[in-house]
Amino acid sequence: MSGAPEGRSRVVAAPDEIIWGRPLECFVEGESNSLPIFPLRPEGLEAFLAGEGAHAAGFLRGAGLTAKAGQLVLYPAGDGTGPGGAVLGLGASRDPWGFGDLSSRLPAGTVWHLEPGDYAPDQAALGFALGAYRFDLFKGRQDAPAPARLVVPAESADAVEEARAVWLARDLINTPPNRLGPQELADAVRRIGHEAGAAVEIVTGPALESAYPAIAAVGAGSDRPPAVAILRWQGSRADETSPLIALCGKGVVFDTGGYDLKPSAAMLRMKKDMGGAAVMLAAARLIMQRDLPIRLVLRIGCVENSVSGRAMRPSDVLRTRSGLTVEVGNTDAEGRLVLCDLLAEAAEETPSLLVDAATLTGAARVAAGPDLPVLFSNDPLWAERLERAGGNVSDPVCRLPLWDGYDSWLSSDVADLNSVSSRPFAGAMIAALFLRRFVPPETAWVHYDLYAWNDENRPGRPRGGEGQILRGLVGSLSHYYK
């Protein structure tokens, strides 16, 4: 690519024009006319200024440059016609967020490159790209200069692909529910799978009702029928004996709560109730792109929890794939019903690791807040690996226990178990214990309960859908199965 375009025009996207996994428009390759950014820490300030000319050093001192975190100082070109470069203060932090708001703070239409310094180029590329994300696929025509762009730093190919995976998850979560129904979500799995040469199967209709009865019950109230998307892939260095990694995602494209109807305020963000599916699909894409020496199976339950004369009712008793019967204690606890069928099927293949992700409970947010997805696992070693990996890449999680003493709270007088507890405590843990009933104890299993949303704009984390746990999960798998 050459220089930055003078402007951009965009029209509202039609459903079939949405490109899942779109390219990162915030990067350019080897732009010769790019301007320099000097990332700087406070301890390197004086040496940097001493190496600059007297005029430039005087200007930067006069601008109050201290290299504190988030400080950005632009200095003029020698001919005074525009910016000549910029200095970015990093402070002491080593996370990617120090580069996370550069795209919006640098002059529109400009192209920049990073000068060497005391920072990791891959983290800089990741932070820049995550901060440059915009979801404007459904906005009307825009005629404005393109945001500032960055020359791709050397040795940052993995970070660029990480950012592209996060963009994919964010795009899916942010897409309005009238544009992303169960079939469209299943089609997204098909597109991403075929892009990587994976085999994809979409199960619908009578076959779904037979194989996934709990998912069928959740989707019965909607005019948009449910689907289960199954993606199978094998790395180029893998064979039939290679580790099998099974991923499962809750893909509730919109959640009214069913007959236990949500208040209107609580329904406003329920397009994000397929956040677990979005993250698992994006993780699968990144795993395939990295060509890990594993076998991969992804299962996404694509369904809408709506209200009609066909919808499941509180006190209904449902059959599940595993053979267990479940009394519906609350129709708004539908996510665990979607996952239980997926987990049961995944476990039939005796995977080396079984991972699910879901926007499952508000209780997890009460326990750990919006920035810390909650992790449960029956395998302490994998729990430790994933917790450590998330912390290492600024994608943290909070581990909570599977407390056996609460398992009896799921008892039912009319079925094998209830979908909820009658006690108003430990909601995230109760949901995890419910899911554990569908996983054999000998299967290493990890359950993520995530928020998948940013409530406010922060560097690298714009308001809207968020691909939480994605980078930590794939980073751990990449390290362990390298």
Give 381-418 as a DSSP string.
Answer: HHHHHHHHHHHHTT---EE----GGGGGGG--SSSSEE
Annotated catalytic residue within 8, 179, 191, 262: 262
Question: What's the whole-number mean pLDDT along residues 104-112?
Answer: 94
Cβ neighbours around 196 below 10 Å, total: 17
In angstroms, the Cα distances linking 258 to 217, 220, 261, 293, 309 are: 11, 10, 5, 42, 11
For the chain, give the number of residues: 482
Q: What is the mean pLDDT of residues 125-151?
A: 88
Question: Tell me, what's the pLDDT at 58?
Answer: 87
How many angstroms separate the CA atoms of 391 and 431, rounded? 25
Q: Cβ contacts of residue 428 below 8 Å, gap of 6+?
A: 360, 361, 363, 364, 367, 374, 376, 400, 449
Distance CA 42, CA 320 (A): 59
Q: Count of CB atoms within 10 A of residue 201's CB? A: 15
User: Average pLDDT in the 151-175 region?
Assistant: 96
pLDDT for res 140: 76
Given this model, what pLDDT does residue 289 score?
97
What pLDDT is attached to residue 19?
A: 64
Q: pLDDT at residue 189 above 60? A: yes
pLDDT of 190 strictly over 80: yes
Does 139 qualify as catalytic in the annotation?
no
Average pLDDT over residues 288-308: 98
Q: Quick one: 382 exposed, middle or buried, by C-beta within 10 A (0-12, 13-18, 19+)?
A: buried
DSSP H/E element including 252:
strand 244-255
The mean pLDDT of the chain is 93
387-416 in b/e form (b: 16+ CB < 10 A) is bebbeebbbbbbbbebeeebbebbebeebb
422 vs 90: CA distance, rounded Å: 50
Count of CA atoms in the C-beta half-sphere (13 A) of 269: 15
Question: Is the sign of the CA dihedral 14, 19, 22, 28 positive or negative?
Answer: negative
Q: Does residue 251 contact residue 224 with C-beta atoms inside 8 Å?
A: no
Strands 295-305 and 227-234: antiparallel
Query: pLDDT tens-digit profile of 414-461?
Result: 999 999 998 999 999 999 999 999 999 999 999 999 999 999 999 999
- CB 471 within 8 Å of CB 162: yes
Indicate the range of 67-81, 131-145, 287-301 predicted with least confidence. 131-145
pLDDT of residue 17: 54
Per-residue confidence band for 7, with pLDDT thresholds at 50, 70 and 90: very low
78 pLDDT above the threshold of 60? yes
HSE at residue 159, side-chain half, CA atoms within 13 A, is 21
Q: Which residues pair with 295 in a beta bridge?
A: 234, 244
pLDDT of residue 146: 83
> What is the average pLDDT across 341-360?
98
Closest CA to 186 of 242, 253, 270: 253
Task: Please name each of the domains of the chain with its CATH number.
Answer: 27-154 (3.40.220.10), 159-481 (3.40.630.10)
Tokens describing residue 441: 């104890």
The pLDDT of residue 3 is above 80: no
pLDDT at 142 over 80: no
- What pLDDT shows up at residue 6? 41
Residue 77's pLDDT band (boundaries 50, 70, 90)? confident
Mean pLDDT value across residues 158-167? 97
In whole angstroms, give the CA distance from residue 263 to residue 160. Answer: 40
* pLDDT level of residue 53 (50, 70, 90 thresholds): low
Show the CA angle centred on residue 157, arms to residues 92 and 292, nearest 5°: 110
Please write the tens of the pLDDT for every residue from 203-232.
999 999 999 999 999 999 999 999 999 999
Contacts of 235 (CB under 8 A, 6+ apart): 242, 288, 291, 292, 293, 294, 295, 296
Catalytic one of 336, 365, 385, 471 = 336
User: Can 436 be counted among the known catalytic residues?
Assistant: no
Output helix, strand, coil percentages for the chain, rounded to the nearest 5. Answer: 35, 20, 45
Question: Where would I find the H helices in 268-311?
Answer: 275-290
